[in-house]
């Protein structure tokens, strides 16, 4: 298996976190946990499918996945090659008018969000690319063609920064007071740009921070209270929603 990370050019950095190129000669089934980035995926060879309660759904060679609040299981064929584009939390709006919340818990064809012919052209160029440098150039050209000169929602961008800085612990009522905005107005603007509510976004950040610390020699009780869960039951319930298992069972397989 090969897994490489690439940083985008300067013009894309405010909107694109990074690119990942992954190749595997063997068939593989794997689980993806909720994160804070929308993702575009191009399979330049091989086939990717999503598994849901035992039902296998083949995905298109170019797709986009929104934020999710549950683990997703994927399966790919042997000899697969994939390039993934990870947006920043508010990055999609710079390229598309599609509200990010309409992609919540969805994996759909990229042609439903971007121009069909440009998606097709990009798939063909990626299939013909000789190396990673060419593949990165192809997807950057695709993104730059769609990059819009539009005013960014600075309030939502600031909200995202504050939530990240707090590790997902900032109370939404305190966030609203800091930004001088009503609860309904904040939620509406945040959902459209980021893909979910500020509360759910905070919860996903907190889950990922717990996930990073699970392999450390620390008690689950310490993690529970350090990350400001009400009690152990709340901690376990929240973790199980995002990971599909309890923190104790999950830790055994790390």
How far apart, in whole angstroms, are the C-alpha atoms of residue 25 and residue 5?
19
Is residue 93 helix, strand or coil? helix
Dig out the tokens for 145 from the structure.
């063609």
pLDDT at 55: 92
CA distances from 233 to 60, 140, 219, 240, 246 (A): 39, 45, 15, 11, 10
Which residues of the chain are in CATH 2.60.120 domains?
2-146
User: Who's near 145: CB < 8 A, 6+ residues apart?
Assistant: 118
- Work out the end-to-end distance of the chain between its first and last CA atoms, rounded to an integer number of angstroms: 19
Which residues of the chain are in CATH 1.10.10.60 domains?
154-252
CA 172 to chain centre: 22
CATH code: domain 2-146 is 2.60.120
Q: Which residue has the tokens 């973790």?
A: 239
Per-residue pLDDT of the chain (254 residues; tens, 9 = 90+): 899 999 999 999 999 999 999 999 999 999 999 999 999 999 999 999 999 888 999 999 999 999 999 999 999 999 999 999 999 999 999 999 999 999 999 999 999 999 999 999 999 999 999 999 999 999 999 999 999 987 889 999 999 999 999 999 999 999 999 999 999 999 999 999 999 999 999 999 999 999 999 988 789 999 999 999 999 999 999 999 999 999 999 998 87
pTM of the model: 0.95
Handedness of CA 111, 113, 116, 122 (dihedral sign): negative
Handedness of CA 133, 84, 116, 192 (dihedral sign): negative
pLDDT at 233: 96
How far apart, in whole angstroms, are the C-alpha atoms of residue 117 and residue 10?
26
Q: Are strands 72-76 and 2-6 parallel, antiparallel or unpaired?
A: unpaired
How far apart, in whole angstroms, are the C-alpha atoms of residue 232 and residue 37?
28
User: Who's near 22: CB < 8 A, 6+ residues apart?
Assistant: 1, 2, 3, 4, 80, 81, 82, 83, 84
Handedness of CA 5, 9, 12, 15 (dihedral sign): positive
CATH code: domain 154-252 is 1.10.10.60
Residue 40: beta bridge partners?
64, 85
């Amino acid at each position: 298996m090969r897994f490489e990370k690439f940083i985008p050019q300067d013009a894309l950095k405010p909107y694109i976190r990074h690119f990942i190129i992954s190749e595997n000669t063997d068939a593989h089934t794997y689980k993806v946990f909720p994160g804070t980035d929308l993702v575009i995926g191009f399979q330049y060879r091989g086939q990717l499918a999503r598994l849901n309660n035992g039902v296998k759904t083949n995905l298109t060679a170019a797709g986009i996945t929104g934020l999710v609040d549950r683990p997703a299981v994927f399966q790919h064929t042997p000899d697969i090659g994939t390039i993934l584009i990870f947006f920043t939390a508010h990055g999609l709006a710079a390229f598309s008018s599609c509200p990010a919340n309409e992609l919540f818990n969805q994996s759909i064809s990229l042609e439903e969000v971007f121009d069909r012919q440009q998606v097709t052209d990009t798939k063909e160029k990626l299939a013909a690319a000789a190396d990673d440098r060419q593949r990165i150039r192809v997807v950057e050209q695709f993104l730059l063609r769609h990059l819009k000169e539009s005013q960014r929602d600075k309030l939502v961008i600031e909200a995202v920064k504050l939530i990240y800085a707090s590790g997902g612990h900032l109370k939404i009522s305190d966030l609203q007071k800091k930004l001088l905005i009503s609860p309904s107005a904040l939620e509406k603007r945040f959902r459209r740009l980021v893909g979910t509510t500020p509360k759910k976004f905070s919860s996903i950040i907190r889950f990922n921070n717990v996930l990073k610390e699970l392999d450390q020699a620390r008690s689950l009780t310490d993690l529970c209270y350090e990350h400001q869960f009400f009690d152990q039951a709340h901690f376990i319930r929240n973790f199980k929603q995002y990971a599909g298992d309890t923190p104790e069972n999950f830790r055994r397989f790390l």
